[in-house]
Structures are given as structure tokens and as C-alpha cells.
């Protein structure tokens, strides 16, 4: 097994970020034969801030630097693994994602990159890597990610026959990656302080490793029937605006914020759409589990050098 080697000076690393506006395109990290340059890190940080509508200040840049570096390392790990299996680009998924985040106005979305002097091609490359990775995980673990759709239909049928109303929750999340022997109390305390000082949404943008970070952690309205029992049991005890206790996941800790709650009548619910959302939710939960586990295994076998 290869061992990760850390040969970077902390002071140099900090200095690099303080000099973000006056940089040369230098290699700062190697992940096997893949490289990460300070140009990529700068573009990742500024893109995150611009798309979230945050001010570009040195303080915000510093707060995002660790998340940006971690994300870029994960992307390089994915590239290394994807190359082994020759996973093809999925243009349909890419276009669906781009249309969703650009409100079907891709031209205006691209222009946002241009006027802020950001590299759209690097952003697009990251989207392509993520869609390839999704396809790879589903293919690699397809026997484990299968959902019994008939069981979901039967459960929904019983619910519709016996219940007149559905609870729906508008929730946001922050997911923090963890290492071995992590201190959950310290992580929780640190995050609570960040939320207190910056607000949940800003903290989600800056510290969450979930894909929802780009949307300030917000997951939108979710029907109670599409939630896992663990999450539902937590949410139903919470008040609006409250933040959940830490929820342990494999290699991460999840914090939820209850934004709002509403009750919908059965006749107002699109049952076919709800069924689809439940199936997708269950698949996503399993996908995230296997994705993080697979990435963790790769990371333990790959040489990561800080220059």
C-alpha cells in the first residue's frame, strides 16, 4: 500500500492563498500522475463564491481554501479510477445538470463566468467528472443499489388508503468529511461556532462536502415518505430553524437545518411523482454510501504529494 506523503510547509500554503490575485500557474499538489495547480484552486474558490452570490473577500477565500483543495483532490482520484474502466462522457446528464443550475439559460450562466474572469472549461470538466463517476458507481455497485420498486408502490398504496395528509419538510444540510479516530464533539462544536458566526447557509457553502453546498445546502421540499426513518425521526422532533444533532455517516457527519414544514392533502399529491422521488432518494442514499466508501479506498492506495 502506498502512503500519502505530506511535504508542504504550512506557512507556504497559507502564503499561497494570500497571494491569490498575483499567482503563477504552479503545481501545488500531485495525486499520482494527476496535478493540481494554484490556478485550479483559485478558479474553484472564486467560482464557488460567484455562483453562491458571496462577496470575493480574502476572508471568504481563506474559508473556502480547504474545501476547494479537498474537492480537487477527490476529482483527481475519480479521474484515476475512471481511466481504468474507460467510462464515457454522458452528454445527456451533463446537459440536464447545466440546464437545471442555469435555469435553462446557459448563455447567461456562461456569461457570469466571463464577466468574473472565471474558467468555465474547468467548471465543465468537473461536471463531466461527476457525471462519469455517478455512472461508474451505479455500474460497479448495481447489484447493491437496486431498489424494489414494487415494494415502494405497495407502501405508497397503503399510505394513500390510510392517510389523508402528508408532512413535507424544507431542509438544508451540511456534510463534513471525517478521518479515522475523529472527535465528533470537537467537530460539532467547531461547526456550531461557524454557524453562529456566519449563518447556516454561508457555512454550508464554505465547509460542506455535499453537492448541495453550491445551493447553500438547501435540498428544497422533501416529502416525509421519501426520507429515511433515521432522518424522519430526527426532523419530526425539530422546530423550524433548529439544527439537528450530528448524524453519523460512513466517512462523514451530517447536520440538518429544518427550514420549514407544511402539510399537504393526499389529493394534492402527485403519487406517481412521489413514487419516483422516493425511489431516487433511496438510490441516492445508497449511491452516496458506496461513492464515499470507494473514494476512501482509492485514497488509501494513492500517493498524494504537496509541493
- DSSP letters spanning 142-205: HHHH---HHHHHHHHHHHHHH-SEEEEEEEEEEEEE--TT--HHHHHHHHHHHHHHH-HHHHHH
8: how many CB neighbours lie within 10 A of its CB? 14
Query: For the chain, how big is the Rg over CA atoms in Å?
Result: 21
Cell numbers at 241, concatenated: 430553524
Angle between helices 200-207 and 184-198 (to 10 degrees): 120
CA dist., res. 83 & res. 63, Å (int)? 32
pLDDT-wise least confident of 16-25, 191-200, 225-234, 260-269: 16-25
The pLDDT value recorded for residue 136 is 95
- pTM equals 0.74
- For 204-253, what is each residue's pLDDT tens digit? 888 888 878 878 889 988 888 888 889 999 999 999 999 999 998 877 89
96: how many CB neighbours lie within 10 A of its CB? 11
CA dist., res. 62 & res. 228, Å (int)? 35
How far from 139 is each of 134, 241, 251, 289, CA to CA, in Å?
Answer: 9, 39, 22, 14
Cell numbers at 25, concatenated: 500557474
The pLDDT value recorded for residue 124 is 96
- For 256, counting Cβ atoms within 10 Å of its Cβ (0-12 exposed, 13-18 middle, 19+ buried), the class is buried
Helical spans, DSSP H, in the chain = 10-18, 38-52, 58-85, 91-101, 106-115, 120-140, 142-145, 149-162, 184-198, 200-207, 229-235, 271-299
Q: Label residue 14 by pLDDT band (50, 70, 90).
A: very low
CA dist., res. 125 & res. 130, Å (int)? 9
Residue 22 confidence (pLDDT) above 60: no
Among the ranges 60-64, 154-158, 197-201, 207-211, which has the highest mean pLDDT value?
197-201
CA dist., res. 94 & res. 132, Å (int)? 9
The pLDDT value recorded for residue 255 is 96
- For 255-274, what is each residue's pLDDT tens digit? 999 999 999 887 777 888 88
Q: Which domains does the chain have, with CATH numbers?
A: 10-140 (1.10.4030.10), 154-275 (3.10.50.40)
* Whole-number average pLDDT of the chain: 85
Amino acid at each position: 500500500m502506498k502512503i500519502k506523503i505530506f511535504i508542504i510547509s504550512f506557512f507556504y500554503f497559507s502564503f499561497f492563498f494570500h497571494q491569490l490575485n498575483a499567482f503563477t500557474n504552479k503545481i501545488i499538489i500531485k495525486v499520482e500522475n494527476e496535478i493540481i495547480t494554484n490556478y485550479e484552486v483559485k478558479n474553484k474558490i472564486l467560482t464557488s463564491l460567484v455562483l453562491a452570490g458571496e462577496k470575493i473577500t480574502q476572508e471568504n477565500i481563506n474559508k473556502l481554501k480547504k474545501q476547494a483543495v479537498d474537492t480537487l483532490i477527490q476529482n483527481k482520484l475519480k479521474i484515476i479510477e475512471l481511466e481504468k474502466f474507460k467510462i464515457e462522457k454522458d452528454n445527456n446528464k451533463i446537459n440536464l445538470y447545466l440546464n437545471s443550475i442555469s435555469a435553462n439559460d446557459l448563455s447567461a450562466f456562461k456569461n457570469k463566468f466571463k464577466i468574473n474572469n472565471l474558467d468555465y472549461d474547468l467548471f465543465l470538466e468537473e461536471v463531466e467528472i461527476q457525471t462519469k463517476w455517478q455512472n461508474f458507481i451505479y455500474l460497479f455497485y448495481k447489484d447493491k443499489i437496486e431498489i424494489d420498486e414494487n415494494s415502494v408502490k405497495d407502501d405508497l398504496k397503503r399510505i394513500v388508503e390510510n392517510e389523508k395528509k402528508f408532512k413535507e419538510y424544507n431542509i438544508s444540510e451540511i456534510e463534513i468529511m471525517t478521518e479515522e479516530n475523529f472527535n465528533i464533539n470537537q467537530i460539532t462544536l467547531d461547526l456550531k461556532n461557524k454557524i453562529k458566526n456566519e449563518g447556516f447557509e454561508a457555512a454550508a457553502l464554505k465547509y460542506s462536502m455535499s453537492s448541495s453546498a453550491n445551493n447553500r445546502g438547501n435540498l428544497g421540499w422533501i416529502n416525509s415518505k421519501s426520507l429515511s426513518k433515521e432522518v424522519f425521526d430526527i426532523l419530526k422532533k425539530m422546530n423550524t430553524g433548529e439544527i439537528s444533532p450530528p448524524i453519523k455517516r460512513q466517512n462523514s457527519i451530517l447536520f440538518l437545518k429544518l427550514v420549514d414544514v407544511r402539510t399537504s392533502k393526499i389529493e394534492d399529491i402527485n403519487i406517481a411523482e412521489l413514487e419516483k422521488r422516493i425511489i431516487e432518494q433511496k438510490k441516492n442514499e445508497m449511491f452516496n454510501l458506496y461513492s464515499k466508501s470507494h473514494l476512501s479506498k482509492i485514497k488509501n492506495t494513492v500517493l498524494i504529494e504537496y509541493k
